[in-house]
Amino acid sequence: MKNLFHQLDKAFENKIRLGTMSVLLVNTEASFNDLKDLLEVTDGNLASHLKHLEKEEYISVRKSFINRKPNTVYTITEKGKLAFEKHLNALEEILKQR
């Protein structure tokens, strides 16, 4: 069982990053405001966690303007999808050990 804990990704230990990845895994994309509303977090808190996931190359960001208002959209990368699925599989295996 000890080896299973080594398979957990530290990037997903925080509930905001875990929630973000969960949303992006089941949706093609999500805007900053959508994530903020779904996760019920502040702008600054969400932004710092999104930067962490982007730095790990687990998500990608696309910025544009809609009616002169900035719009930021996030998608999960293939690397992020694989890492998150590995993390979820390890959690599942840990729970089966009980």
Per-residue pLDDT tens for 69-93? 889 999 999 999 999 999 999 999 9
The pLDDT confidence band at residue 97, using thresholds 50, 70 and 90, is: confident
The pLDDT confidence band at residue 4, using thresholds 50, 70 and 90, is: confident
Q: Name the residue range of residue 76's domain.
A: 2-96
Q: What is the pLDDT of residues 15-48, one digit of tens each?
A: 999 999 999 999 999 999 999 999 999 999 999 9
The overall pTM is greater than 0.85? yes
Provide the domain count of the chain.
Answer: 1
Cβ distance 40 to 1 under 8 Å? no
The pLDDT value given to residue 40: 97
- Is the CA virtual torsion 48, 29, 58, 70 positive or negative? negative
- The CATH number of the domain holding residue 63 is 1.10.10.10
The pLDDT confidence band at residue 2, using thresholds 50, 70 and 90, is: low
